[in-house]
Amino acid sequence: MRSRINRWLVALCDPQGLADLPAGRMPLSDVVPLMARAEQQGVGPVVLANLERWAQTQSIHRKQCASAAPLAALLAASRPRILHQAGLALMLRAASGALVRALAAARVPATVLKGTDFADRLYPVAALRPQRDVDLLVPRDALATAEAVLGGLGYAAVPDPPRKYKDGYGQRIWRRDDAGAVVELHWNLVNSPAVRRGISVLYEDLTFEPAVMPGSLPRLTAASCVLLAAVHGATSHSFERLQLLCDIRQLARGAAGPIDTAWLADAASRTGSLSALGVALRLTAQTLRCPSCSVLCQSLGPRLPSRWSWVLTPAVVLGEAPLGAVRRQLFRHLQKNPPCSSL
C-alpha cells in the first residue's frame, strides 16, 4: 500500500497542477494515509489543492475514484490542519517582515533563506509552501550586530543543547514567545563543523539581487537559490522531505528567474558543493520525474560528479528503501570526508 500511496503522492505534489496520474483507481481508504504522508513530507497544501481539483474534474474522477462525495468528506478532514499551517506561515511572514526592516535599518548585510522568499518566488500561491521558522543568513563578522537587532525586537537566544563540538556551529536559534516565532540565524549554510570540513557556504560565497524596495534586504539570485537548496537539503536534511525536492524542481523550471550555470558550477566547486548539487538535481529528476532538473544537470557539464548518488535514491526519500536511515547516516558521513577527486 505504501508504494501505491507514494506514487500518488509524487503525482499530486506538483504546484503547477495535476501531473500524470498513476494507472488504476485510488481506493478511498488511501486518502487519509496519503494526506498524512503529504503533510509529513511538507507538501500537504499542494496535494490537498490538487486532490480537490481532481475531485471537481468529474471526467478524471470517474475513471480514477469511486465517488466524489466521500472523497470530499475525507479531504474536508485535512483542511483544518492545512489552515493551521497557513496561519503559522502568516505569523512567520509578519515576524520575517519585522526582522527584515530592522536589519535593513541597522544596515546589517543579511538575506532571508527559503521561507517566505521561496514561497513567494517559487510557488503560484505562497500558501502552498508550509514554513516552520524564519531563517536568516549574515556574514560572520556581522553576527553580533544581527543578534543585537534580534534582542532589540524581543527575541531571546535559545540555550545550545550539549553538542559534540564546543563552538563553531553555523547557526543559533532565537525565540520570541509572545510572537510564537523561531528564528535561525546562520553565518554558514552548513551548521555542523564536521560536515563543514567538506562543504562550507558563507554569505560572501553567494550573489544577490538588489533590494526591491526601501526597508527590504537583497535577495539571492536564482543560481544562489539553487546552491542554497542543494546544500541545505544535503547537509541539514539528507533530502528527507519532498518539499526540499519540490523547491529544487521549481528553481530548475525557472520560477526564480534564469540560472547562471557558469557561476553555479564555479561556486559549487569553490564551496565543496559539487557533489551535493549533483545529488540534489539527479535525485529530484528521478523522484519527481523532472526533465528541467536533468537539463540543468547536463548544462553544468562534466564538472558535476555523480558520486554519492547511489546512497540516496527515490526509494530512500519516499521511505521505501531497506535500511533507509542507515543510508542517510552514510550520506552524512560521506559529506564529512569528501574524496580528493571527482568520480
Whether 304 is in a domain gets the answer yes
Q: Is the pLDDT of residue 287 over 60?
A: yes
Residue with cell 532589540: 152
pLDDT in tens, 189-223: 999 999 998 999 999 999 999 877 878 899 999 99
Are 72 and 101 contained in the same domain?
A: no
pTM over 0.95: no
Are 71 and 99 contained in the same domain?
A: no
Q: How many domains does the chain divide into?
A: 3
pLDDT in tens, 79-101: 999 999 999 999 999 999 999 99
Largest Cα separation within the chain, whole Å, is: 61
Whether 287 is in a domain gets the answer yes
Q: 210, 206, 253: which is closest to 232 by C-alpha?
A: 206
CATH code for the domain in which residue 99 is found: 3.30.460.40
Whether 291 is in a domain gets the answer yes
Which one-letter amino acid corresponds to residue 231? V
Are 63 and 41 contained in the same domain?
A: yes
* Helical packing angle, 44-56 and 31-40, nearest 10°: 150
Are 323 and 271 contained in the same domain?
A: yes
Whether 201 is in a domain gets the answer no
Judge whether 34 and 47 are in contact, CB under 8 Å.
Answer: yes
Are 120 and 56 contained in the same domain?
A: no
Q: What is the CA radius of gyration of the chain?
A: 20
Are 93 and 72 contained in the same domain?
A: no
Structural domain span for residue 293: 221-343
Are 92 and 71 contained in the same domain?
A: no
Are 116 and 230 contained in the same domain?
A: no
Distance CA 126, CA 325 (A): 31
Checking 73-79 for CB contacts under 8 A at 24+ apart, the result is 74/28, 74/31, 74/32, 74/35, 75/31, 75/35, 75/48, 75/51, 77/32, 78/35, 78/39, 78/44, 78/48, 79/48
Output the pLDDT for position 343. 31
Distance CA 30, CA 14 (A): 19
Whether 214 is in a domain gets the answer no
Are 244 and 336 contained in the same domain?
A: yes
Judge whether 275 and 309 are in contact, CB under 8 Å.
Answer: no
- Element housing 279 (H / E): helix 274-287
